[in-house]
Amino acid sequence: MNDNPVLLSVRNLTTQFFSQEGIFDAVDGVSFDIRRGEALGIAGESGCGKSVTAQSILRIVPRNGKTVDGEILLQENGKTVDLVKLNEFGKEIRDIRGRAISMVFQEPMAGFSMVYTIGNQITEVIRLHQKCSAAEARERAIEILRRVGMPKPEQTIDAYPFALSGGMRQRAMIAMALSCHPMLLIADEPTTAVDVTIQAQILSLMKALQKEMGMALMVITHDLAVISELCDRVMIMYLGKDVESAPAGELFRNPKHPYTIGLLHSVPELGEGRNQEIVPISGSVPSPYRRPSGCTFHPRCPEFMPGVCDVAYPPQVEISAGHKVRCHLYV
């Protein structure tokens, strides 16, 4: 168990989106901590609020969204800063982005401008947050490209993003995110945009860099195999809510929430052979504009109790040390 001090504390985070169809909570009262040097995995189906949670932390929620409640407390140099209270376009949050908290985006092409070389873009980040000359920034950029395993970094630094393969673009994105030695790296689906042969390399690289640099890691994914490879703790999200959280080993051995159990049963296990039974979760994630009453998972839940699950949302219960669940089965 990680006994390091808490680096980031998220409390009752609520982020809403506004459209012609109405207002919905993309993130609905989520709370969690990330300790220094710890890796937290956030998992769930598409549309459950994982990426919006990350965007809320960095204050980069799309224009039609807004964080309306909660706290995001960053501990740095003995001071506590509530990121929710900062102007999302102000100097203070711009200083935190890239320096204290960095992000690797799901699609590397979205994180780079196509009209500048990767070297120009990485050195710009370095010079924005660190006092150094252009030549020093270039040397640091080459060094970080080398550390992430980029082939021939002295030449690759002058390449444009569109000239690189998917795996090389992902390495360049990781290099840019790590260029100022952040305390927390947020990785949003870090292996989605690369083929399966590159995925293992990227995961191994992130694991090694986290250990080497002593940074905290927040991994957002729908792939539980990625979480088992990288993370110390796991939080499962469903329709904007944190429905279960636990140490990774505990959650995989002893899942409690029917949704978590369903996620685990819907993934084939390595070594179990072709005859293993894969049981998909019935139904699909409801529209956020038409949330079911009570527990939002109840229309898909095999443990559904009429008159209970469809009436009230269950409170969070701690069933063992560090293992929390929101389910009427344990209330």
pLDDT over threshold 90, residue 240: yes
Determine the pLDDT at residue 1.
60
Q: Which amino acid is at 63?
A: R
pLDDT over threshold 90, residue 126: yes
pLDDT over threshold 60, residue 307: yes
Helix/strand/coil percent split, the chain, to 5: 35, 25, 40
Query: Nearest-CA neighbor of 149 among 165, 134, 162?
Result: 165
Q: What is the pLDDT of residues 241-258, one digit of tens each?
A: 999 999 999 999 999 999
d(CA 34, CA 218): 8
Query: Nearest-CA neighbor of 319 among 303, 306, 330?
Result: 330
d(CA 293, CA 307): 11
Least confidently predicted of 21-30, 124-133, 275-284: 275-284
Determine the pLDDT at residue 291.
92
Q: What is the pLDDT of residues 147-161, one digit of tens each?
A: 888 999 999 999 999
The sheet carrying 6-19 orders its strands as: 22-35, 6-19, 65-76, 79-82
State which fold the 1-100+188-197+210-280 domain adopts: Rossmann fold (3.40.50)
- 27 touches 6 (CB < 8 A): no
Tokens of 137: 């920034």
For the chain, the domains span 1-100+188-197+210-280, 108-181
**173 to each of 80, 107, 188, how far by Cα in Å?**
29, 9, 12
